[in-house]
Structure 1
Amino acid sequence: MTHLLQPGHGPVDGDHYLTADPGLVHWGHLPNATAEPVLTIGSGETVTVDTISHEGILGDQGRDPAAFFAATAGIPATGLLHDTVELAGSTRDHDPGVHGPHVVTGPVAIRGARPGDVLEVEVLRLRRRAPYGVISNRHGKGALPGEYPQPSTGSPVGTAAPTVSLVATVGPDGLGRLPVGDGRHLAFPLRPFLGIMGVAPATEAAVHSVPPGPHGGNLDVRHLGTGARLFLPVQVPGALFYAGDPHFSQGDGEVALTAFEAPLRATLRLTLHTDPATRALAARLGAPFAETKTEHLVLGLDPDLDEAMRRAVRDALTLLADRYGVPGPVGLAYLSAAADFHVSQVVDGVKGIHGRLPKADLAHLGIR
């Protein structure tokens, strides 16, 4: 199989390069305050990070990617990434009752970073490392628990299949292709992004990889693709940035449980902001914030979707007040008339809402 970006081969666009070999990744837990950095860089430098997908290496999929991908999609062992095979075959402990599924590369320390600073992560380039990936619905999770996964033929009523994993591919037209099962396929555009980008929380306790939080982590916001900038409040010295959970595409909601999970080589610029205005804004917001070329993005995170919505609206009002001097009542009216609030995901325990504020609407106000 062609179009594989094996570790150590192919283009590297950043000042530094991190492979995803077992010694440079965390599996199931995110780096915490005690994590040792695998790389230390200066503010404004770029790093190219190999990421691998957890799909195909988990225990309920046999922890044998060669067998899994051969059985589900006829992909030979020569079509697999070496780091994926190496991690699955390693002695690394992975207990699904204790660990999350995700593999993250890092952490990367930024010289001089201290709590209260803000780390800007600019996504410069995302290269596909393989021409295929997996979309899974498993263990009664997703937006329709109890209804999906559907029972297998002949199973007792009420019995759900523990895992349904479908392999999707990238067609010659650059579109995602998902087989229907009768010779036809669904085709859809790719929108690559990293589902996990974050900094270490200020705790020595284990940090599960699934729920997002003020540290970022498993945000699963599909707009954080090439050109996006994510702002993360630094919580420990050095920031200790990490990235993983690569996607080729995802719809808002991520309703099955996973999106099109597939490996990426990401080049990111990590810039430290120490100015009082940025530090103050980050301190007043309840979650990380982001922007694209055309939009400001605010995030609301909470186990309750209604509360996540309220938090996203509050953060939007804070951003409008701090950046543009817009009073709360006027800001709320504007948000109701012109901003969009979407469900990022409903499958990570802590649910997500992202608000999208068009920059063009605000440009004439001037930034305070």
Structure 2
Amino acid sequence: MSAVPILQPGVGPIPGDHYVRATPETVLWGRLPCAADTAVLEIASGETVTFDTVSHEGILDDQGKDPAAYFASHGVPAEQVLDDAIEIAVSVPRDVRADGPHVVVGPVHVRGAHPGDLLKITVETLAPRVPYGVISNRHGKGALVGELPRGERNVSVFASVAERDGALYGTLPLADGSDPVVAFPLAPFLGTMGVAVAGHERPHSVPPGTHGGNIDINLLVEGTTLFLPVQVEGALAYVGDPHFAQGDGEVALTALEASLRATLRFEVIPADAARAAFGNVTGPLVRTPEYLVPTGMDPDLDAAMRACVRASLSLLGGRWGMDEHLAYAYLSAATDFDISQVVDIVSGVHARIREADFAGVAAVEPVALAGDGGAA
């Protein structure tokens, strides 16, 4: 019996107000939406959308671009290979030399979202669609370019999912061909959540930026929130790059890549309300039950670190009115700066600012638009 139910398109729980399948009409492969793209769905602020996301691992050219055959070679029964993955591999165009690998679902137009606002994306549920995933290391990519992988071929490692005491784990062997005795807990999240950029050029799917995109922040599990600066009318939000688990750094190149059914709530925070709550937010901002998490991104990891420190100083001043020199001292004493990833052309750093440390300081919460465009 499978460790998780197989969530083929339209099968199983679909809890959102709306449902977007991954089809040739609703996905881009290797590019992100821009202002010129037509929305696949229009919603009101506050509504939820369930997306079927599809992992790129198993459908790429170096894996044969035939997910049924690729996963069959790892012992996966035909009925456990997703129909939408098969259709995308056959039907969706992608320039191998110019485009990224990610399958991106959307965009979704959120009524009332204007440039200068923040789009608040709350991760409601993330359900594995299959009981397996893939971790890959490709030549010229990863933290150890020129060292790994050894040999001429790219390396893709198949990992099955097992259930132990009611929890799901990814499993790996100690050596090829041996039993999978190594087990690590799953913590599913979407590596890609973003808003469309201005203009008529679709960005490459790999490097993250102020629009979000492939930020690969593993804190974004169920119950967390991502705030993104809106760049075009309606925000034109999208999701993709589903992960079952990822370590900070994502050093080999990919996480445990595997398809998820994601239900997200989209809310518009008007510009004035956003500034009152957080000050000036110019890039992705994550909120967990414990932390506010500003981000910094740059092709140079040191520069990404400095950008994250500046974003953190801005947040401490904007939200709690903390003097800059005192905020700098606080960050040095009490805040961890984590490497999100070092493999996406643009490296990422995120800071974990503990909100409990400021429990005695008054702060404004971000007020979203109601579904009819009024204040909630």
Residues 88-125 of structure 1 show CA distances to partners (whole Å, capped at 9, x for unaligned) of 122x2212211100001110001121111110000011
Tell me, yes or no, if structure 1 residue 305 matches structure 2 residue 296.
Answer: no
Tell me, yes or no, if structure 1 residue 175 matches structure 2 residue 169.
Answer: yes
Q: CA deviation at 1:184?
A: 4.4
Counterpart Cα distance in 2 of 1:308 and 1:314: 10
Tell me, yes or no, if structure 1 residue 341 matches structure 2 residue 337.
Answer: yes
Counterpart Cα distance in 1 of 2:341 and 2:10: 33
Identity %: 55
Residue segments in structure 1 that go unaligned for 5+ positions in a row: 152-159
Tell me, yes or no, if structure 1 residue 42 matches structure 2 residue 41.
Answer: no
| Contact persistence 1:33–1:202 (CA under 8 A) | yes
Residues 218-257 of structure 1: matches in 2 within 5 Å? Answer: 218-257=214-253
Counterpart Cα distance in 1 of 2:281 and 2:121: 17
Counterpart Cα distance in 2 of 1:281 and 1:305: 29
How many residue pairs were aligned? 357
2:190 corresponding residue in structure 1: 194
Q: For the structure 1 residues 184 and 114, does the alpha-carbon distance in structure 2 shift closer, same or farther, using more than 3 Å as the test?
A: closer
Counterpart Cα distance in 1 of 2:313 and 2:238: 29
Tell me, yes or no, if structure 1 residue 80 matches structure 2 residue 81.
Answer: yes
Q: For the structure 1 residues 324 and 97, does the alpha-carbon distance in structure 2 shift closer, same or farther, using more than 3 Å as the test?
A: same
1:165 pairs, out of 151, 156, 171, with 156
1:318 pairs, out of 293, 299, 314, with 314
Counterpart Cα distance in 2 of 1:242 and 1:361: 33
Residues 235-293 of structure 1 show CA distances to partners (whole Å, capped at 9, x for unaligned) of 00110000000000000000000000000001100000115141577783342111001
Task: Give the alignment's TM-score, normalised by structure 2.
Answer: 0.92
Q: For the structure 1 residues 80 and 88, does the alpha-carbon distance in structure 2 shift closer, same or farther, using more than 3 Å as the test?
A: same
1:328 corresponding residue in structure 2: 324
| Contact persistence 1:194–1:224 (CA under 8 A) | yes
Counterpart Cα distance in 2 of 1:112 and 1:197: 19
Q: CA deviation at 1:172?
A: 2.1
| Contact persistence 2:290–2:356 (CA under 8 A) | yes
| Contact persistence 1:138–1:149 (CA under 8 A) | yes
Is 272-281 or 17-26 further displaced after alignment?
272-281
| Contact persistence 1:248–1:260 (CA under 8 A) | yes
Task: Give the alignment's TM-score, normalised by structure 1.
Answer: 0.94
Residues 19-64 of structure 1 show CA distances to partners (whole Å, capped at 9, x for unaligned) of 1112111110001110100000000001111100000101111100
Q: CA deviation at 1:141?
A: 0.8
Residues 156-193 of structure 1 show CA distances to partners (whole Å, capped at 9, x for unaligned) of xxxx42x1001111102111111222334311011100
Counterpart Cα distance in 2 of 1:302 and 1:184: 37
Counterpart Cα distance in 2 of 1:80 and 1:200: 31
Q: Secondary structure at the match of 1:175?
A: strand
